[in-house]
Amino acid sequence: MNDLASAAVPGRTRAAALQGALRRAAPALAAYAAIRLLGVAVLAVWSAANGKDWHTLLTARWDSLWYTRVAEQGYGYTVHLANGDVHSNLAFFPLLPWLEQGLAAVSPLSAADAGLAVAWSASLAAAWALYATGERLHGPRAGVALAALWAALPVGIVQSMAYSESLFTALAAWGVYAAVTGRWVWAGALASLAGLTRPVGAAVVAAVWVAAAVTVWNERAAGVRLRTALRTHPGMLTGVLLAPLGWCGYFLWVGARQGSLTGYLDVQGGWGNGFDGGVAFVRFLWQLPPLAGLGLAAGVALVIWLYVRGVRRGQPVPLAVYGGVVLLLALTAKGYFGSKPRLMMPAYPLLLPLAVGLAKWRPVRSWLVIGLVAAGSAVYGAFWLNGSGPP
């Protein structure tokens, strides 16, 4: 039983179940923390050699500055660029700045450092959710490998920045896990919080809704009446109703503030973002040198293959829907291409086939591979963040 499962168990039994879940997850959390600490350590050394401050790179660049400004000053800040673009802080969903503001109010931390504390704490919560998912589907070794692989992604350094990716992945992964285990109220509540964190929160809503629809469809196909099916799955209707509240609430609030139902889309358009079905992505590939374009296309093909591989291996519906929607939104969005690896980072179900494969190897061999990947990720993250970094 994992910690979400323990929510249904009263008193001391619930506490014991939570402690047991944490003990089982401890190796995954230790591996995750070690990989991320390696990344931060390499960043610190690299930054010092370049005359930069690693702490500033993690807390006061790009999106982290926008989140901090929302936490300190609220919404309404806008930058008008010479090329006509209009960058409004309404593009940034509110949960992370709310947490920054709240933590800074009750502690000596600045809003920026509060964002870093939230990100680091949330990244551990995400690693726990990934372990729980892998353990449930393929056993403990797959759970540990899944958490370690997520930590060692090439852009894994973002997990250690005052960005919203770690917070979103924690909420999304636990929400999807709750849907997999049939804890519908948890699933809906976590989906709603994920929807207050990033636009891609819509993927968690889709996972909850489709999972609920498939569950009801299967019950009806077996001859069960709808009312009986809903009683058989307590909390399902509540979870379905809760799931979209966060995402829709912020979308509608921005629309009301902007005086247009499409206000949030207009704000994103001012940043040069939006969805064009992948046209901008194909155009970007076409403009690259041939070898670079082919290499990038091969990388995208690999990502799609991992998704298909996971689905064909029987991934539960919530995982398959969530991973597919995150991948689809990342690949079909226009805007700066350098952001795409970061946008795909929450799509952890793509790593499940790799985690299962590593779990079948001898421990020495699998950890050697993970260690080499982690070292490469640490070096790349330090290079990336000291250079162009994640916009």
CA angle 322, 39, 169 (to 5 degrees): 20
Q: Which residue has the higher pLDDT, 351 or 19?
A: 351
Query: Who contacts 20 (Cβ-Cβ below 8 Å, separation ≥6)?
Result: 1
Over 60: is that where the pLDDT of 2 sits?
no
Put residue 17 in one of left, alpha, beta given phi > 0 → left and psi -120 to 50 → alpha: alpha
Q: What is the distance, to the nearest Å, from the Cα of residue 24 to the centroid of all Cα atoms in its chain?
A: 23
Q: What is the distance, to the nearest Å, from the Cα of residue 34 to the centroid of all Cα atoms in its chain?
A: 20
pLDDT at 10: 61
CA distance between the termini of the chain? 40
What's 334's DSSP letter?
E
Q: What is the mean pLDDT of residues 200-212?
A: 98
Tell me the pTM: 0.94
The model's pLDDT over 25-36, given as tens digits with 9 standing for 90+, comes to 999 999 999 999
* pLDDT interval class at 6 (50, 70, 90): very low
Over 70: is that where the pLDDT of 3 sits?
no
In contact, 328 and 278? CB cutoff 8 Å: no
* pLDDT interval class at 47 (50, 70, 90): very high
Query: Who contacts 33 (Cβ-Cβ below 8 Å, separation ≥6)?
Result: 124, 127
User: Letter for the amino acid at 288?
Assistant: L
User: Letter for the amino acid at 216?
Assistant: V
pLDDT at 178: 98
* pLDDT interval class at 321 (50, 70, 90): very high
- Express as a percent the part of the chain with pLDDT over 90: 79
pLDDT at 1: 42
Please report, to the nearest 10 degrees, the dihedral formed by the alpha carbons of residues 164, 170, 176, 180 taken in order.
170
Q: What is the mean pLDDT of residues 39-51?
A: 97
pLDDT at 282: 83
Residue with tokens 């449930």: 136
* pLDDT interval class at 5 (50, 70, 90): very low
What's 259's DSSP letter?
T
* pLDDT interval class at 9 (50, 70, 90): very low
CA angle 162, 196, 199 (to 5 degrees): 85
Over 50: is that where the pLDDT of 55 sits?
yes
The model's pLDDT over 287-318, given as tens digits with 9 standing for 90+, comes to 888 888 898 889 999 999 999 999 999 999 99
pLDDT at 7: 47
Query: Partners of 87 in the beta sheet?
Result: 79
The model's pLDDT over 246-256, given as tens digits with 9 standing for 90+, comes to 999 999 999 99
pLDDT at 293: 84
CA-only gyration radius of the chain, Å:
21
The model's pLDDT over 188-203, given as tens digits with 9 standing for 90+, comes to 999 999 999 999 999 9
Across the chain, what does the average pLDDT equal?
93
156's tokens: 């894994």
The model's pLDDT over 272-283, given as tens digits with 9 standing for 90+, comes to 888 887 788 888
pLDDT at 11: 61
Residue with tokens 């500033």: 56
175's tokens: 């929400």
Nearest-angstrom CA–CA distance, 277 and 261: 22
Nearest-angstrom CA–CA distance, 271 and 251: 16
- pLDDT-wise least confident of 123-132, 151-160, 285-294, 302-311: 285-294
CA angle 175, 178, 181 (to 5 degrees): 155
